[in-house]
Chains A and B, each alone.
Chain A
Amino acid sequence: MTAISTAPAATREALGRTLVKLRQDGLDIVVVDADLGKSTTARLFRDEFPDRFFSVGVAEQNMIGVASGLAAAGKIAFCSTFSVFMPGRCFDQIRVSVAQTGLNVKMVSSHAGLSVGEDGISAQAIEDLALMCSLPGVRVVSPADVVEAEQAIETAARTPGPFYIRTGRPKIPVLYDDSYRFELGKAHLLRPGSDATIIANGIMVHAAAEAADILSQEGINCRLLNMATLRPMDDEAIVAAARETGCIVTAEEHQIGTGMSAMVSQVVGATAPVPLGAVGVAGRYAESGKWTEVMEKYGLTADAIVREVKAVIERKGGERSV
C-alpha cells in the first residue's frame, strides 16, 4: 500500500478537473447538469467549455433523457448530481434510456452514503449501488480515493457504454499515487493475508485498512481487496479469497444485503461457500450529524470491521496462519 503523501481530498473533486482535461485531450465530452454542479464540481467544465455544458435545472429525469439523446448522436455524455437523486429520482430513465440502449452515458454521482453527514437521511444514499448494480450492462465503480476516482472517470470516458461512478463529499486521505493503475473489473490487492479477507469499496477502504492494521497487531493477517468496480465484479478475486482465506467480510457505505455484500455472497455461495460477514448500514436509516459521528453511530468503522472479522474467523473454526 502506498503511503499517504498528499493532502486529504474528496473523491468528488476528481470530476470537474478530469472532464476538463479529457476535453482538452480532444474527447467529445458534453456535460448535463441538474443544479448541483458546484457540489459535484462538474461546473468547472462549464467555466472552460460553456457551449458543451447544458444546465437543465433541478430536473434529474430530464438530465438523463437529454444525456441519452446527446449520446445517441455520438457524444460522450456525462451527467452528475447527488447519489440520492441519480439513480433515485431518475431510475426508470436510466433503465430504459441508458441501460437498455447501452448508450454512452456516464453518470457520476457525489455525496454518496452516510458521509454526507448533516443533511440527514433524505440525502444519505445507501441504496444507489444496489439500484445501479441491478441494471445489466452498466459498469459501476466506487473509488476509494481521488486518484482512483480520476482514473475511473477517465476509463469511463474512454470505454464505450454506460457507467455509474459514485463519489463522496468529505475530504479523506489519498491512498494511491500516480503509479497506481485502475483496472476496470479488477479488485486491487492492498494487502496480502490468509486468515480472512476484507473486501471494501469507496470510503470504507480506509476503515478496512485501519482494521487490517489493528488485526495484524493481534496476529490476524487479513487480505485486503479494494473492490472499486462492482460491475463487472472480479469474481476470480472473490473465489480466490474464499478458497485461500476461508472467510470474508465486506465493508461498504451502503445498506447491507443489497449492494456489494449481496453480490459477494452470491459469488461465494455459488462457488466456494465460506463464512461471510458484512459491515454497512443494517437495514435502517441514519440521521443528521457530523459525518464521522454518523459513521461511528451507525457502525461504519474500523472497529466494526475488526469485530466482524473475528466473528467470521470464529465461525470457520478459528485456525490462523500464526
Chain B
Amino acid sequence: MVAIETPEELTAKARRIRRHIIAMVTEAQSGHPGGSLSSVEILTALYFSVMRHDPEKPDWPERDRFVLSKGHCTPVLYGALAESGYFPVDEILTFRQLNSRLQGHPKIGTIPGIEMSGGSLGQGLSYSIGQCLAARLDGRDYRVYCLLGDGECQEGQTWEALMCAPSYQLDNLVAIIDRNGIQNDWFVDETMPLGALDAKLEAFGWHVISVDGHDLSQLLAAFEEAKETKGTPTAIIARTVKGKGVSFMENNPDWHGKGPSPEQAEQALAEIGE
C-alpha cells in the first residue's frame, strides 16, 4: 500500500508531479499541460492519502479505482502513477513516442494502474457507475473516484450518468469536477456555460462539496466527508486554475494542449521549484 504522507510530504509529491508534467509535455512537444497542472492536488490527495491501492498488486480486486474521464490529462496520471511506484519514473520521458507504454490518452493494459481507456470525453462517469454496481454485486467495499473536466460536463453523456448514479444510491462513487474554467478553445463561460453547477448536481441528487482544488487539506476533508456520506454519490467541485504553478500557463487557454519550448520549460521548472 502507498503510505499515508504528512502534509509536507504531500506538498512535495505535488511539486514532483508538476515537474513530471512539464518534463513530459516538453519532451513530447505535445500533450496537455493546462488541465494536468490544475488537477495535481486532486490526484496527489487521492494517490498518496485517500485511495486504498498497492502498486505491487495493480489487479487487487479490493483496490479503490481512479478513473480519468478527462483522458487528455495523462501527464498528471502518469506522474501520480510513477510517483506511486507503478512504473519507473525515467520512463515518463517516452511519453507519446512510438513504442512507448505512455500513450497520449490512457489505455488499459499499457502501464499498470490505468483503470480506463479514454480520450473521448464524457464516458468516464458511466464507466465508474458500472464499477460501483459491480462492487455492490460482488460485496466489495472499494470506492471509485472519477475526475471530469468542466468542459467535459457539456457532454450529454455526463448528464445521463449524473442522473443515473444517485438513482442507484451509489455512495461508493465520487465525481471530482476540475472546475478550471477553460476548455479546448476558450473559457467555459463564453463557450457553453455550466451555470450553477452545484445547484444542478444537487437537484440531480448528488451530495455536493465545493473546495479550493489546490488546497490539500480541503480536498482531504472533502474525500473524508464523501466516505461518510451514505445513500447517494458525492460530487466534489474543485475550483482550480488551469496551468496552476506556471505563471505563463495559468488561466491561459493557449496552454490547453501543447508543449513548451525548452526555455519556457526551464522557467516553468524554476517556478515550480525542487
Contacts and interface: CB of A to CB of B under 8 A. Distances in A.
B89 to A, nearest CB: 19
Given A288-B98, A290-B98, A121 B103 contact: yes
A85 B120 CA distance: 8
B118 A122 contact: yes
Nearest to B32: A119
Nearest to A36: B184
A43 interface: yes
Given A55-B191, A56-B192, A58-B122, A35 B185 contact: yes
Contacts, number: 95
**Would you call the interface of chain A mostly helix, strand, loop, or mixed?**
helix
A122 B120 contact: yes
Contact of A121 (B97, B107, B191): B107
Interface residues of A, number: 31
Contacts of B192: 35, 55-59
A36 B100 CA distance: 27
B11 interface: no
Interface stretch (B149-157, B221-229, B241-249): B149-157
B-side binding surface: helix, strand, loop or mixed?
A: loop
Interface in B26-53: 28, 30-31
B103 A120 contact: yes
Nearest to A37: B185
A158 interface: no
Interface in B147-186: 151-152, 154-156, 183-186
Nearest to A62: B156
A61 B183 contact: no
Interface string A130-155: 00000000000000000000000000
Interface of B: 28, 30-31, 71, 96-100, 102-105, 107, 117-122, 151-152, 154-156, 183-186, 188, 191-192
17 contacts: A35-B154, A35-B186, A35-B192, A39-B184, A57-B188, A58-B152, A59-B154, A62-B156, A89-B120, A89-B122, A118-B30, A121-B103, A121-B119, A122-B105, A122-B120, A288-B96, A290-B97
Interface of A: 35-39, 43, 55-59, 61-62, 84-85, 88-89, 117-123, 287-290, 293-294, 297
